[in-house]
């Protein structure tokens, strides 16, 4: 896992007693399924994951009603991702 995730996301989630849903591989269908079925409220990811997920969702549109915030870190977002 990315060092940002280990030092901030995982430690804070464990400290606050939050459930973590970890994906050791980038399997977009599984990520989308978990976002919907497990009512994910916070989605931290590196820009590469967000970029690939955005491209995937253009083909397979979904709504994530429980998602409140997406956090990007570990690298700069590309210009198209700022919209």
Integer distance in angstroms from the first to the last C-alpha of the chain?
27
Q: What is the pLDDT of residue 37?
A: 95
14-56 pLDDT tens trace? 899 999 898 889 999 999 999 999 999 999 888 999 999 999 9
Asked whether the whole model's pTM tops 0.85, one would answer no
Helix axes 28-37, 47-59, angle to 10 degrees: 80
Pair 24, 2: CB distance under 8 Å: no
Neighbour tally for 31: CB within 10 Å:
20
- When pLDDT is cut at 50, 70 and 90, the band that residue 11 belongs to is confident
């Amino acid at each position: 896992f990315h060092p940002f995730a280990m030092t901030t996301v995982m430690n804070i989630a464990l400290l606050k007693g939050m459930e973590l849903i970890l994906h050791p591989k980038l399997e977009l269908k599984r990520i989308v399924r978990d976002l919907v079925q497990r009512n994910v409220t916070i989605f931290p990811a590196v820009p590469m994951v967000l970029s690939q997920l955005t491209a995937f969702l253009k083909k397979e549109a979904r709504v994530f009603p429980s998602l409140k915030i997406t956090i990007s870190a570990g690298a700069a977002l590309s210009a198209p991702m700022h919209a």
